[in-house]
Amino acid sequence: MKYRSVFDIIGPVMIGPSSSHTAGAARIGRAARHLFGRQPSQVDIYLYGSFKSTYKGHGTDVAIVGGILDYDTFDDRIRQSLIKAEEEGISVRIHEEQAGADHPNTAKVRMQDGQDQLELTGISIGGGKVEITELNGFPLRLSGNHPAIVLLHHDRYGAIASATGILAKEKINIGRMEVSRTAAGEAAMMVIEVDQNIPDTVMEQLEVADHITQAARISD
């Protein structure tokens, strides 16, 4: 069941004109921003399919940049996001991709600052609901609409236990979990969907937990 809540159907409250191409796009941008953890200095947005064909009409680019500025779907400031990004010194480039994609509403967001880089692919499946399908080369299936933790870790025994142990101690319930790796013994990634936003104190513990190299989160 892709849709679980009545508010996936009656909602979200949003700035028009399109739930998939505007609100969903904003959520993809916001997921990237949350996982990056701060404001980037350079953003490249690659649009595919219907996103590519109609982004100007729907303000898809405007909405993704709004999300990157951490605006929610109903935030009036979304309309002015391109101007705001420029004021804040964020360089934004939009790329119209001719290549096909598995889903008609696909966007890839690459963001960086002097230190780090993040690449995220998201699809907007309708009514404002999105899925993150790839993160830094790792395929995944993450709903961008619920709180989640993404952990990069060494592919070793005990890595999962060290993360879930912290969550158990903090009484945080895991709704869904996914583990993937580039190759045995190398870099791996854990995606944990949870029921509530993760507080800073828990993130700090996860960052220094055994075998974990990087921790990021998506908040509601």
Partner 1 sequence: MFRNVEELLAIAKEEGIAISEVMIRQEMKTREATRDEVFATMEQNLAVMEEAVEEGLQGVKSHSGLTGGDAVLIQKYMKEQTPLSGDLLLDAVSKAVATNEVNAAMGRICATPTAGSAGCVPGTLFAVKNRLNPTREDMLRYLFTSGAFGFVVANNASISGAAGGCQAEVGSAAGMASAAIVEMAGGTPEQSAEAMAITLKNMLGLICDPVAGLVEVPCVKRNAMGASQAMVSADLALAGVTSRIPCDEVIDAMFKVGQRMPSAFRETAEGGLAATPTGKALAKNIYGKE
Return residues touching partner 1 (CB under 8 A).
1-23, 49-50, 53-59, 74, 76, 79, 104-105, 124-128, 195
Which residues have CB under 8 Å from 135's CB, separation 6+? 35, 118, 119, 120, 121, 142, 150, 189
Q: What's the min distance (Å) between Cβ of 15 and partner 1?
A: 6
Q: What's the min distance (Å) between Cβ of 99 and partner 1?
A: 14
- Of 118, 159, 154, 143, nearest to 35 by C-alpha is 118
Element (H, E) at 165: helix 159-169
With tokens 């993360």, the residue in question is 163
Q: Which amino acid is at 73?
A: T
Q: With respect to partner 1, which residue has the nearer C-beta, 40 or 49?
A: 49
Q: With respect to partner 1, which residue has the nearer C-beta, 2 or 95?
A: 2
Alpha-helical runs (H) found in 37-72? 49-58, 60-68
Q: What's the min distance (Å) between Cβ of 187 and partner 1?
A: 34
Q: With respect to partner 1, which residue has the nearer C-beta, 110 or 146?
A: 146
Q: What's the min distance (Å) between Cβ of 177 and partner 1?
A: 19
| Residue 69 near residue 85, CB atoms below 8 Å | yes
Q: What's the min distance (Å) between Cβ of 208 and partner 1?
A: 31
Q: With respect to partner 1, which residue has the nearer C-beta, 11 or 165?
A: 11
With tokens 């508010």, the residue in question is 7
Q: What's the min distance (Å) between Cβ of 92 and partner 1?
A: 19
Q: With respect to partner 1, which residue has the nearer C-beta, 38 or 141?
A: 141
State the number of CA atoms in the 13 A half-sphere of 179 facing the CB.
Answer: 15
Q: With respect to partner 1, which residue has the nearer C-beta, 15 or 135?
A: 15
Give the Å distances, CA to CA, from 10 to 3, 5, 6, 16, 126: 11, 9, 6, 15, 12
